[in-house]
Amino acid sequence: MSTYAPRHSPSAFSTPAATTLFRRLTWEGTVPLEIRVDPKELPANSDRGLECYYIQAPRVSYLPLLVPEIKRFLMDVVFDENAARVLKEEDWWFESDEGTLLKWHWPIGLIYDNHTITLSARPNAVPSFFTPLRLILHLASPPTEKLLLAPNAEACKQAFMGQLKEADFIRWGNTKRMTGLRKAEQDGLWEGIKEHNFDEYWRVASKITPTTAPTRSNSPPPPPSSTSLHTRPPSADPQSSAGPDKDGATNVRNVPVRIYLPDGPVLQDLVPPILEDGTMHVLSTFLTARLPLLFPELSSGKPNLGYALIQGVPAPPDTEMAWLGACMAGADGWVNVCVGLLRESA
């Protein structure tokens, strides 16, 4: 990591404590899963009654990466020796307990939040927090009419790398930052996820993820509670000899963002960090523009009919999109906004 000015300006990639804090919080986020083997597929002589596996799974991880851990549990606790010998992980696949297909190539946190908002749209929706997402694990070959392929870690890795490159392209109009990484570094990103190692992942990710304005050594750092990037406009700073922070979150062309609706398709369009009138693009403006019925104009006085979850957190309306892109994106570079329906309290 090189410094870009001869004086004591810190590395271009150093980030204020707040950014690192939120990145770590995002990284450490987990969701409860309850994984149950399809009873019809339990081999004979299995220890029934124990075939449920509970796990607090990292939001940034993927279902196929959980398979080794689940397999160890099943072999230790549920299966007898004969059954264990014929286990073929490559035939394993997951299904929601309502029988719907699971997007195994989605990050686990997204699967969970998507489930939360889908429930919010049901007629008898009851607000429930922190209930485990119940999954069924099948041990036999997946129904080929439902899935094109059984989930496997290699396919997952490729989907992950593809998403990172798309995010790179959206930010800068090219994928040079991603392709500029050595192969070992690119692999290091996935290894960081597999090992769930924050430092290993961010050692590489910090080269490609937009930063917030770096702390100037002779100015006070932004207060830890600050979520604004406008602590000091980089170009106006006489200390900076490199001009505007070229990797700054506000210098991206667009922020990689997707909206998920209950039972609905995924929406994606251009999300500039700064609007045409020069103001920061904030979450409420973003949502009102795309879902005006759920998120009416603030000036109209009408209440919101929906809420937005980002990494499981109902984000405040004045959150800056650029900040989200730098601090609360998923490990694949994308800010996933899950929109649920608000219910009147009973």
Partner 1 sequence: MASILSRSQFDQACKAYVEAYLNAHPSDVKRHPTGWLWEEHPYIANLGYLSRTVHLPSRPVQSTSREDEDDLVELIAEDDDATLNTRDDLLTCKQYVVHSATFGVPTLYFTLHDASGSPLPLEEIMKSALFRPGSFPSADGNTFAVTFPGSSFAMLSQGDHPTLGTPSWYFHPCHTAEVVGELMAEIDVGRDDLLRWLEAWFMVMGNIVDFFAGSGA
Strand partners, 177: none
Of the pair 175, 251, the CB lying nearest partner 1 is at: 175
Q: How far is the CB of 267 from partner 1 (least distance, A)?
A: 7
Residue among 13 and 169 whose Cβ is closer to partner 1: 169
Minimum CB distance to partner 1, residue 60 (Å): 20
User: CB-wise, 234 or 333, nearer to partner 1?
Assistant: 333
Residues near partner 1 (CB under 8 A) = 103, 105, 144-145, 147-149, 152, 154-155, 158-159, 162, 165-166, 169-170, 175, 178-179, 261, 264-269
Least separation in angstroms between residue 256's CB and partner 1 is 8
Q: Which residue lies nearer to partner 1 by CB, 52 or 149? A: 149
Least CB distance to partner 1 at residue 262 (A): 12
Token readout for 317 is 């309306």
Query: Is the distance from CB of 257 to CB of 334 less than 8 angstroms?
Result: yes
Determine the Cα–Cα distance for residues 326 and 334; give it in Å rounded to an integer. 10
Nearest residue (CB) to partner 1, 73 versus 160:
160
Smallest separation (angstroms) from partner 1 to the CB of 253: 12
Nearer to partner 1, 74 or 255 (CB): 255
CB of 330 to partner 1, least distance (A): 15
**Closer residue to partner 1, CB minimum distance, 217 or 268:** 268
> Minimum distance between the CB of residue 264 and partner 1, rounded to whole angstroms?
7
Give the C-alpha separation, 91 to 3, whole Å: 50
Query: In terms of residues, how long is the chain?
Result: 346
Q: Which is nearer to partner 1, 156 or 213 (CB)?
A: 156
- In the complex, least distance from residue 170 CB atom to partner 1, rounded to whole angstroms: 6
In the block, residue with structure tokens 């597999």: 194
